[in-house]
Amino acid sequence: WRSCPEIDDSSAGCPATSSDTALLGLAIAVFFFGIAFLIMSRKPERIPLDAAGPFGKLD
């Protein structure tokens, strides 16, 4: 917890500094990139029928 002697109502917390804001922006960007990569990785891959092996042939 950061102390703010210049603010009388310091129990409400200190205002964010520019480095705090930049770090929060970076964390949000990493979060959204992670969600996007997670969604892209769940796309199923199609394999050709001959790669499925003998299970597709019931002759």
Give the pLDDT of residue 58: 54
CA-nearest of 27, 5, 26, 25 to 14 is 5
Give the global pTM. Answer: 0.57
Helix (H, G, I), strand (E, B) or coil at 16: coil
- CB-CB contact of 7 with 14 (8 Å): yes
Give the pLDDT of residue 56: 55
Give the pLDDT of residue 55: 64
- CB-CB contact of 49 with 37 (8 Å): no
Is the dihedral angle over the CA atoms 14, 20, 24, 27 positive or is it negative? negative
pLDDT digits (tens, 9 = 90+) for 2-59: 677 777 665 667 778 888 899 999 999 999 999 999 988 876 777 776 676 666 555 5
- CB-CB contact of 40 with 33 (8 Å): no
